[in-house]
Structures are given as structure tokens and as C-alpha cells.
Amino acid sequence: MLTKKQHELICFIADRLNETGISPSFEEMKDALELKSKSGVHRLISALVERGFLRRLANRARALEVIKMPERAEPKKKAEARPAQPSTLSIFAGKAPPAPANDVIEIPLHGRIAAGMPIEAMEGATMLPVPAALLGSGEHYALEVSGDSMVEKGILDGDYALIKRTETARDGDIVVALIDEHEATLKTFHREGTMVRLDPANRNYDAQRYDSRKVRVQGKLAGLLRRY
């Protein structure tokens, strides 16, 4: 059985999807349920996802799909004169609307990554809420930075590096490089013939050079989050 607030939220989301095809923003959900903060909305959505009533559509802002409704609860009917619209975010099959600045996307947080000597990364995942405006198109994940070798690029120990998943890189890109399928590091990428050079951004560290067959790009830097 859903709590009163969970019931109110899924009905509000379903009604908005049924009317416009677009999920309400977190701010709109907060106001509709008279909550004090958007963290309460996050908790309600997570509970509805866990119970199988909602589904998050990965890496898209304001992307929620209603899987089922609680008993004796159906979304409001539209006026007869209005054309039928889908009850999910099929709008994203085309061009998505711009995401409001207050929208948040949860992306996987995969452990710690070295901005110094390589350390193991990608050791499991929790979720990190990220403002949608910081991310572009594509699939993203986050890594917590460990070390100081990228400080001259403004990447500090404890920052969260937001990574766009890709297996290719151009010279000068800041990438997540997996070395020998075991250790990962965050460095500036350069090719030197059959070698790959991974440059730090700290004069106290030396560049690392590897046979290109031993280096696999796992993504490139798309943004940073920093907590104070």
C-alpha cells in the first residue's frame, strides 16, 4: 500500500503525462505536494520506482514513465475534444525540450579514480544526483577524484568528475584511461605513434607512456561537481 504522499505524487505525474506528454519538474512536484524541499520528491520517486509504479528513463532530464497505477486511482480523463496523447515520454523519441535548471538526473557513481598514480576504479556503483544542465547528450557516469596531479586543470582531490562514456578520444581530451584492464586514471590524452601519453596537470608529476594496446579509453571529462 502506498503512503498518502506517494499516492498523490504518482497521480500528479500520471495526470501531467496524460495531459502534456511531459513529466512535471521536481519544483512543480514539490509545490503540488506542499513539500519543503526537492529531496522529499527524490525520496518519494525512489520509493515508487522500488515498488514498480514508476520507471526512470536513463540519462534524460524529467524522464519518468508510469508503469502502473495504485488500485482505484486512474489519471484524470482529458476533454473529449483533445487528441489522445501518450502517457509516457515518447516525446524523447524526437527532440527533447530544454531541461529547466532545477531538474536533476541521477547517474552512476563508480568509486574513486586517481588524478595521480593509477588506482583501481569502477568497483561498483551508487547513484549521484547531478543538475541536468551540466550534462549534454549521451550516457554519463561519475567518479570521485583522488590525488592532485590535475590541479592545474582545476580538478581537485575530492571533486566528482562527470564522464561522458566513449571509447575514442582526440589529442588534448581529458579522459578516463584504463591501463592493462586493471587500473584507471584521469589524464590528458595524446598519441605518439604506437604509444599513448597520459599527461598530468601538475609540474610535480611526470607524463605516463604506454603501448596503445594497453590503454583503453572509457570516457572523457564532461564536467565537475565540487562540495564545500
| % of residues, the chain, pLDDT over 70 | 78
What pLDDT was estimated at residue 168?
Answer: 93
> Is 187 part of the annotated catalytic residue set?
yes
Please give the residue that has the higher pLDDT: either 82 or 221.
221
What pLDDT was estimated at residue 39?
Answer: 75
Task: From the candidates 23, 25, 146, 149, give the one annotated as an active-site residue.
Answer: 149
Max mean pLDDT range (77-81, 126-130, 165-169): 165-169
- Phi and psi at residue 106, to the nearest 5°: -95, 125
Distance (Å, rounded) from C-alpha 18 to C-alpha 74? Answer: 11
Distance (Å, rounded) from C-alpha 39 to C-alpha 52? Answer: 20
Please give the residue that has the higher pLDDT: either 217 or 87.
217
Please, what is the average pLDDT of the chain? 78
Record the pTM.
Answer: 0.54
Across the range 132-142, mean pLDDT stands at 84
Across the range 64-92, mean pLDDT stands at 53
Using the predicted structure, report yes or no on whether residue 80 has a pLDDT greater than 50: no
Other C-beta atoms closer than 10 Å to the C-beta of 207 total: 12
> Is 149 part of the annotated catalytic residue set?
yes
Task: From the candidates 23, 25, 30, 187, give the one annotated as an active-site residue.
Answer: 187
What pLDDT was estimated at residue 96?
Answer: 44
Lowest-confidence pick of 55-59, 118-122, 179-183: 118-122
For 2, residues 6+ apart whose C-beta sits below 8 A from its C-beta are 10, 48, 51, 53, 70
Please give the residue that has the higher pLDDT: either 188 or 119.
188
Using the predicted structure, report yes or no on whether residue 182 has a pLDDT greater than 50: yes
Other C-beta atoms closer than 10 Å to the C-beta of 53 total: 21
What pLDDT was estimated at residue 208?
Answer: 93
Please give the residue that has the higher pLDDT: either 117 or 215.
215
Domains of the chain: 4-73 (1.10.10.10), 106-225 (2.10.109.10)
Distance (Å, rounded) from C-alpha 150 to C-alpha 140? Answer: 21
For 207, residues 6+ apart whose C-beta sits below 8 A from its C-beta are 197, 198, 199, 200
In contact, 219 and 136? CB cutoff 8 Å: no
pLDDT digits (tens, 9 = 90+) for 4-47: 888 888 888 888 888 877 778 878 888 888 888 777 787 888 78
What pLDDT was estimated at residue 189?
Answer: 97
| Cell output for 91 | 516525446
What pLDDT was estimated at residue 122?
Answer: 54
